[in-house]
Amino acid sequence: MKNVTEILTGKRNGAHVPLIAGPCSAESYEQLRSTVLELREIPNLIAVRAGVWKPRTRPGSFEGIGEHALQWIQKIKEETGLKFAVEVANSWQTEAALNAGIDILWIGARTTVNPFYVQEIAEVLRGVDVPVMVKNPIHADLGLWIGGVERLRKSGIRRIVAVHRGFFTSGTSVFRNDPKWEIPVEFRTHMPDVPIVCDPSHISGKRDYIFEISQAALDLEMDGLMIESHYRPDQALSDAEQQVTPAELKQIMAKLVRREELPENTEALEHLYALRHQIDALDHQILNLLEKRKHLVESIGELKKDHNITILQFQRWFEIVKDRSQLARLLGLEEDVILEIFQLIHRSSIKIQQQILQGKTTDVQ
């Protein structure tokens, strides 16, 4: 696990999964203080979250207390010595949070979508050494997420953590936001130095799924969790259904299994390496076969050019789809995955032949 604790708080990672927890919104001094005092009992807790300005989809819902809540945070910080994280969505909120001595800032999903806002925040943060968490944008646009991190880095922000909170779904998922796990995995390959914290609260939308999503995140080597907790969740003014009590959160954290990256047992470790070795060899074979296939595609391209034949022939493509799907089924492979692979291979073949016939490529979906 990457050192989320160190990035956000300056302390070393302990043995526990780092947890940032707190209410969706700071609603009153009493609500925030009572929640925090209970959360303090969870050994995993590294920082408290509390929304001060709430981005709500439609007007008329509770939009946060605003600047006044920063004073409650200051008081509770003094009493407990805990670090606090707050969402900022524009320049004046960022200034207000910094002036109040907030320890950690986060950029929400509705802000990461807008490069103007991210840039505006990045400008205020130029020369300020504060850790910032960047949530994924609402829609599954990896570029915007990476872009958000890059904008902050260009302003000199070094301590950055990404937050995976799932993606907008048109309503077909049981979750409030579709996790689309492949996106944070892809984020990781582009930005291996940036730790990723999972926010199962906004993914699930319901408290019953929080454990399951948290475990899934840990199994994908995510580096920490950000979970909404309220001392009286059912009375919460925002996101009531997804908030858990600090006592429930403590149980969830205790139940989570943290798997190791590698087995401790030497025999198991050797077996793992041997299996991986075989996988490497097979992958190399696949690549060699693709290279051979490419040569055949080129020869066909030359033939098509010499005999004035079209590049894309639907009848041939339909035959390929039918044949490869059938074989995939017979072999017990996932048909739709195999089909996707062949679609990519076919697209690349068309590109190669376009080069041969026309000296250029037009991307074909």
Residue ranges that bind Mn ion, judged by CB under 5 A: 24, 239
Residue 157 site contact among ligand PEP, Mn ion, none (CB < 5 to 8 Å, cut-off depends on kind): none
Question: Toward Mn ion, which CB reaches closer, 24 or 350?
Answer: 24
State the Cα–Cα distance between residues 128 and 174, nearest whole angstrom. 41
One character per residue 197-226, x = contact with ligand PEP (rule: CB under 6 A): -----x------------------------
- What is the 3-class SS of the chain, one letter each residue? CCCHHHHHHCCCCCCCCCEEEECCECCCHHHHHHHHHHHCCCCCEEEEECECCCCCCCCCCCCCCCCHHHHHHHHHHHHHCCCEEEECCCHHHHHHHHHCCCCEEEECHHHHCCHHHHHHHHHHHCCCCCCEEEECCCCCCHHHHHHHHHHHHHCCCCCEEEEECCECCCCCCCCCCECCCHHHHHHHHHCCCCCEEECHHHHHCCHHHHHHHHHHHHHCCCCEEEEEECCCHHHCCCCHHHCECHHHHHHHHHHCCCCCCCCCCHHHHHHHHHHHHHHHHHHHHHHHHHHHHHHHHHHHHHHHHHCCCCCCCHHHHHHHHHHHHHHHHHCCCCHHHHHHHHHHHHHHHHHHHHHHHHCCCCCCC
Considering beta carbons, is residue 51 or 224 the nearer one to ligand PEP?
A: 51
**Residue 108 interacts with ligand PEP (CB under 6 A)?**
yes
Cβ distance to ligand PEP smaller for residue 25 or 349: 25
Residues 168 and 63: their CA atoms lie apart, in Å, by: 21
Whichever of 226 and 311 has its CB closer to ligand PEP, that residue is 226
Burial 164-187 (b: 16+ CB within 10 A, else e): bbbbeeeeeeebbbbbbbebbeeb
Select the span of 64-72, 106-114, 278-286, 329-337 touching ligand PEP (CB under 6 A). Answer: 106-114
> Which single residue is written with the structure tokens 């076919």?
346
Q: How near is the Cβ of 165 to ligand PEP at its closest, in Å? A: 4
Q: Which does 223 bind (CB under 5 to 8 A by kind): Mn ion, ligand PEP, none?
A: none
How is residue 64 written in tokens? 């946060």
| Closest residue by beta carbon to ligand PEP | 108
Interaction between residue 176 and ligand PEP (CB under 6 A): no
Instruction: Considering the complex, state which of residue 88 and residue 328 has its C-beta at the smaller distance from ligand PEP.
Output: 88
**Binding partner of 246, given Mn ion, ligand PEP, none, CB within 5-8 angstroms per partner class:** none
Closer residue to ligand PEP (CB): 84 or 297: 84
Taking a C-beta distance cutoff of 8 angstroms, is the pair 89, 120 a contact? no
Measure the CA–CA gap between 302 and 309, rounded to whole angstroms.
10
Region from 2-10, 104-112, 245-253, 335-343 binding ligand PEP, contact rule CB under 6 A: 104-112
Size of the site for ligand PEP (CB under 6 A): 10
Which of these segments, 60-68, 105-113, 139-147, 288-296, binds ligand PEP (CB under 6 A)? 105-113
Question: Cβ of residue 109: shortest distance to ligand PEP, in angstroms?
Answer: 4
Nearer to Mn ion, 23 or 224 (CB): 23
Considering CB distances under 5 to 8 angstroms, the limit depending on partner class, which of ligand PEP, Mn ion, none binds residue 165? ligand PEP
Does 51 help bind ligand PEP (rule: CB under 6 A)?
Answer: yes
Residue 275: both structure tokens together: 């299996």
Nearer to ligand PEP, 227 or 253 (CB): 227
- Please tell me whether residue 55 binds ligand PEP under the rule CB under 6 A: yes
> CB nearest Mn ion: which residue?
24
In the window 74-93, what residues touch ligand PEP (CB under 6 A)?
A: 87
Nearer to Mn ion, 165 or 346 (CB): 165
Q: In angstroms, give the least distance from the CB of 92 to ligand PEP.
A: 18
**Residues forming the site for ligand PEP (CB under 6 A):** 24, 51, 55, 87, 108-110, 135, 165, 202
